[in-house]
A and B are shown apart, each in its own frame.
Chain A
Amino acid sequence: MDLAEAAPAADGTDASAVAATPLLSVRDLHVSFHTSRGIVRAVEGISYDVTRGEMLAVVGESGCGKSVSSLAVMGLLTKPSGRVERGQILFEGRDLLKLSDEQMREIRGRDISMIFQEPMTSLNPVLSIGLQVMEPLLIHLDMTEAEARARAVELLTLVGITDPDRRLEQFPHQLSGGMRQRIMIAIGLACNPKLIIADEPTTALDVTIQAQILELMKDLSRRLGIAMVIITHNLGIVARYADRVAVMYAARIVEKGTADDVFLKPRHPYAVGLMRSVPRLDQPRGLRLETIEGLPPDLRTPPKGCRFAPRCPLKLSLCEATAPHLISVGTGHEAACHRSGDLAAGVKVFEPTPLGESPAIDMTGRPLLAVAHLKKYFDVTRRVSWRKSEQGQVKAVDDVSFAIRRGETLGLVGESGCGKTTIGRTVLRLETPTSGEISFDGSDIAPFAQADMKPVRRRMQVVFQDPFSSLNPRMTVGQIIAEPMLVHGLVRTDAEAKARIDTYLTRVGLFPYMAERYPHEMSGGQRQRIGIARALAFEPELIVCDEPVSALDVSIQGQVINLLEDLKRQFGLTYLFIAHDLAVVRHISDRIVVMYLGRVMEIADRDELYARPLHPYTQALLDAAPIPDPAAERARKPRALKGEIPSPLNPPKGCVFHTRCPLADEQCRTLVPAARDVLQGHTVACHKV
């Protein structure tokens, strides 16, 4: 697409004004949803501009209205409940809200296209990739089948898909998540659109794949002069890729400006909070995360004054009475806060608080949990085609050894399919290991029968990833917490149980009256606290935390991480902390195990690992994770790891990482590297170190 021949001037605008006219201009947009439970004002009076070749990031937590506002631009609000109440959406000078359905349909996919969050569900499972990529070409550009096919091959090549001819014949389920997202991008690019809206385009992807996809999008937008609106909650992505940022909170934009302004000189306490509540790879650890307490307001009954006032550490009585408007706080930098001036003058929103004394790690005695040569293989039958099936084995965990000392937090980190969750489940004996030893406090529980496990289970508990599906919806919060105490005979009477429930609820930051509620009445963060309280009720020594914060919003994530650290101190717990987020793992762990495709790549103390990553995979992971600081990001060379994660059903021979490793040679392709101590307490499985 040539910039020079960009859009003809809309009626009534003279040619000289065109250059200055933004491509998309959203003016005072109000969107509401009329539901049986009341009117939700999902977007209230937001305005933003996007010019050609620019990338605007809209940042905020779930429910803040960021996705709704872009669905409104696309004319894709859920009908009939979703309505644009007022405002203008000017695209090349035309108000999209005034167009008929048919006119709007002609713009969608041709001038504006959208890439959605979930590559797994956003492609139609019963239609071929070819048809889905060719569809917009056939609709909008009147291409013949053959022309569209040729263009589809070109598009797939453009987004980095090898063997495009064969891919066109395939169906979505035959492609990995990263490839599906590339297909989505190819569909978005098909008709050379002027604007692409990407709604959390990489949230569902692994960190190395995320880097590939974003690099691709940034590169395409530069080369083809496409304007981009990227909607995300990941501040690292924003810092690395966005030119300008709009921060949304509770249906309103609270701050907008260039990425540098918003990151380096935030003038709204919420923007400050968002940036401070995520653990960062580039900052010293040892302080508590500075989290925004509380929850976002219910948009059916929002607070009268500033929406953020109930959670704001800087609030004045003025804030609760009148809502602040967006005012200029610098060139092209606006914030909606009564105290933005004070922020500029250097008033701190949060006072850093130290973590407090870490419990002593017992370095001398035997480890609480020692896993040696653990293997967990799953037998799978896979239908390769209509008539043929294949017997296979997934080596989910292959010869893994590590130990956790009493009082220690061991972080287990890796991308999807690396076997980290299987390790957690096998240690808990929810899975039976194929071979190997799991010694818990000196006794090998690997061969235990389920009956023998009961006393062990009391001492070893788990907090699951998904707070929505891991709590029984038919039980009250009180019953959920009381069940383990009753099963294990920790309490005898109901009154005793009641008292204990109240204690645990208070300990995890909830209130005793919540014991009567059901899980669906609680927010995600609250449910995760219930899950933690349930685990505590066993009075365990070891808690396996399986991605405990990955389903939560950033500000809530910080609260839960702080809670886990406080509880560890109070109860003298030991954690096996499983996660994919390197920054979170770094913040909470004492020692870290990096895994890839069922094997351990590297084990080291936290500070050692992040200061001196030795394994090429660890280095790549750290490179791929974006840091929420535009200045730091510019200084870094983004080195996206190439290729996909191979299927665990058919892992590469030799070193499992060799297919993506920049250092791989013949030895790596044939010989599995043994884990060896390179330095004191720093184990690496690589031929090249």
Chain B
Amino acid sequence: MGAYLAKRILTMIPTLLGVAVLIFLMLRVVPGDIVELKMRGDGGAPTIQQIEAERARLGLDRPLIAQFGSWMTGLATLDLGTSMWTEKPVTEEIAGRIGLTLQVAIMATIIAILLALPLGTLSALYKDTWVDQAIRIFTIGGLAIPSFWLGMIIILGLLYAFNWIPPMQYVPIWKDPLANLAQLIWPALAVGYRFSAVLARMVRSSIIEVMREDYIRTARAKGVHERLVIARHALRNAMLPAVTVIGLEFAFLIGGLVVTEQVFNLNGLGRLFVQAVSRSDFTMVQGIVMVIALVFIVTNLLVDLAYGWLDPRIRYGGK
């Protein structure tokens, strides 16, 4: 196990390196100039000399290879550089927001799993009955309704019903769990609904498939209680494809919640990302992309570990 993990962690390095090269090159190709934006943005009229000087200060006048070199040396020492716009270290900017984003993503994932497992299972077992139809309405709603719109409805609903809106100020959960949850449960619900819909559809089709397997028939032929047939024999097999979806969706939530963060006025990674892109803040964009890539890779590893835990064929490396 230890050796396997070490190997997996080592193989992360080339992947991250590839991402680093790609994002660096893509940013240099995409139009947009941070210096122009900064100095002309508020109707300023800088001289050519001022622009050149600013460029030199940010290091943008150096040859690409030199810029890439310092980006790489920075990465090697886990230094993501300084934001070209706010002049603060990128790591510091990200650290201030990643907690909130991770928390929303984790809560949304938990909500999704708690909703999707029972709903998906029920609609599979009662396929083509009114139960399935009712759940289908719920899930198709989740797929069709944009999360940010649902977020707005939630806020409006809270305002009408309780004359209360969620707090705007982020408090870490270890400081004041109640205030923290009061703020973050709503965006997690808004996002988790869509997530649960995707997952419930997956669980449903996966269970329908598993229930047709020969070993389910074997279990029934043994006289296993129907409830146990589902819980012991079907669910674990059906979870395999669902785990993949959970991993992918979770990783997407890191940095993918731009509009929802806007609606709930959350200062998350998504918002930071969009700001950085619109300001052509190269170092910031690069830093965030690296963090998101890392989340994807780690999630993937977790999914693989979960697979091994669920399925002995993978654990022991059979066919």
Chain A residues proximal to chain B, CB less than 8 Å: 74, 76, 101, 105-110, 113-114, 116, 118, 121-128, 135-136, 139-140, 171, 173-174, 184, 187, 190, 382-387, 389
Contacts and interface: CB of A to CB of B under 8 A. Distances in A.
Interface stretch (B133-141, B143-151, B306-314): B306-314
Which A-B residue pairs are the 9 nearest by beta carbons? A383-B317, A109-B223, A173-B318, A109-B222, A108-B223, A171-B312, A124-B215, A121-B214, A114-B221
A452 to B, nearest CB: 34
A105 B213 CA distance: 19
Given A107-B223, A113-B221, 13 more contacts: A101-B226, A105-B226, A113-B222, A116-B214, A116-B217, A121-B215, A124-B233, A125-B311, A125-B312, A140-B223, A171-B312, A383-B316, A384-B317
Interface bin, chain B: 20 to 34
A135 B224 contact: yes
Contacts of B213: 121
Contacts of B222: 108-109, 113, 135-136, 139, 187, 190
A386 B233 CA distance: 23
Contacts of A384: 316-317
B218 A116 contact: yes
Looking at chain B's contact residues, is the secondary structure mostly helix, strand, loop, or mixed? helix
Interface string B225-236: 110000011001
Contacts of A139: 222-225
Contacts, number: 101
Contacts of B162: none
Contacts of B57: none
Given A124-B233, A126-B236, A126-B310, A76 B217 contact: yes
Nearest to B222: A109
Contact of A136 (B223, B236, B310, B316): B223
B215 A110 contact: no
Given A173-B313, A387-B4, A124 B219 contact: yes
Contact of A108 (B220, B236, B312, B315): B220
Contacts of A121: 213-215
A74 B219 CA distance: 12
A369 B177 CA distance: 80
B132 to A, nearest CB: 13
A361 B184 CA distance: 84
Contacts of A116: 214, 217-218, 221
A253 to B, nearest CB: 24
A383 B233 CA distance: 25
Nearest to A114: B221
B216 to A, nearest CB: 8
A174 B312 CA distance: 10
Contacts of A109: 221-224
Contacts of B217: 76, 116, 122
B265 interface: no
Interface in B264-319: 308, 310-313, 315-319
A122 B221 CA distance: 11
Contacts of A187: 218, 222
A385 B317 contact: yes
